[in-house]
Amino acid sequence: MEVDQLTKIALAWELFRQCVPKSHIAQRVEANRETVHLWICGISSHPDGLMGFLEDYRNSKKGERAKRKLDGLLKNRIWKLRDDNRDCCGQKIREYLWNEYQTELSTKTIYKVLGEKYKLRSKWKKNQARGPVPQADKPREVVQMDTVDFGYVFAFTGIDIFSKDASVLLLPTLTSLDGLCFLEYSMEQRFKHTNLLQVDGGPEFKGEFKQNVFRFADRFRNARPYKKNEQSYIESFNRSLRKECLGWTKYASKDIPELQKEVNHYLDYYHSKRVHLGLNLQTPNDILKKYLVSDI
């Protein structure tokens, strides 16, 4: 038979007076141990004891609770903090609210206020469907792009996953403008156009890069985080670039002109002389000629 809450409280108090441990009381009345602790503390400190606590408890449950309302001033403070701190997250706004105004607010409430004025990005879902890993049956169907860190030099790399032909551009920074620079360079110099362009979702492949990607690609895809197999072709090329050309050295940005010459020389060898097991011991240029791709 179901026991109402007031009876549970009375029973818990009686058991406590008999020196029964709170954990055993919680099991007996089918309540959380912390809840039982709060009941006992409330009864012990109440001037009218058990009966007074039960009366207050009964009155507190009458009617609906009034919803907490946020005044316009507090909302404006939240919006201003977001604008002043470069669209920062709710957790940071919560800290700023306390530091500047001694106002404590939950992160959930802050996001509700932000949602009244801003279009917030939805949460990333761990198993969000992104479609199958791209496969290619001919050149220019799928191009993968990535970057390699060489200290103060970043190698932007791209590869056609079918023919294995590649493009590399060395730049001193890792911004979306640099990503756009490499996109234009690699497409104009090598790939021209692709059915699908896939990247790893780094900051260099957002912003200006993403705004211009459809000038050169029909579709655009971000590989899933921590799924290296989805970028396996470009990762394999990056290892070859390190092992056979630039190594694992950290370079200064002033070295870029000489390094780019070295990379270009390596790409000439890579495309015309270096045979690939995945291409049945043919070179990328052999595959491109076989499929009558003229941009080599």
Arithmetic mean of pLDDT over the chain: 87
Tokens of 26: 């919680």
Is the pLDDT reported for residue 201 higher than 50?
yes
pLDDT-above-90 percentage for the chain = 47
Question: Are 254 and 151 in a shared domain?
Answer: yes
Question: Are 177 and 82 in a shared domain?
Answer: no
63 burial via Cβ count (<10 Å: 0-12, 13-18, 19+)? exposed
Asked which of 40, 60, 80 is the last residue of a domain, the reply is 60
Question: How far is Cα 255 from Cα 275, in angstroms, rounded to an integer?
Answer: 29
Beta carbons of 165 and 282 less than 8 angstroms apart: no
Q: Find the domain containing 166 and state its range.
A: 142-290
Whether 85 is covered by a domain: the verdict is: yes
pLDDT in tens, 50-94: 898 988 888 877 666 555 567 788 899 999 998 888 677 888 888
Question: Are 229 and 282 in a shared domain?
Answer: yes
Q: What is the mean pLDDT of residues 182-193?
A: 94
Question: Are 213 and 273 in a shared domain?
Answer: yes
pLDDT in tens, 85-95: 867 788 888 88
Q: How confident is the model at residue 1 (pLDDT cuts 50, 70, 90)?
A: very low
Q: Give the HSE-up count for residue 134: Cα atoms under 13 Å, Cβ half-sphere.
A: 25
Question: Are 149 and 285 in a shared domain?
Answer: yes
How many structural domains does the chain have? 3
pLDDT in tens, 255-277: 999 999 999 999 999 999 888 88
Whether 49 is covered by a domain: the verdict is: yes
Residue 133 has a CB neighbour count (10 Å cut-off) of 15
Question: How far is Cα 108 from Cα 90, in angstroms, rounded to an integer?
Answer: 8
Question: Are 158 and 268 in a shared domain?
Answer: yes
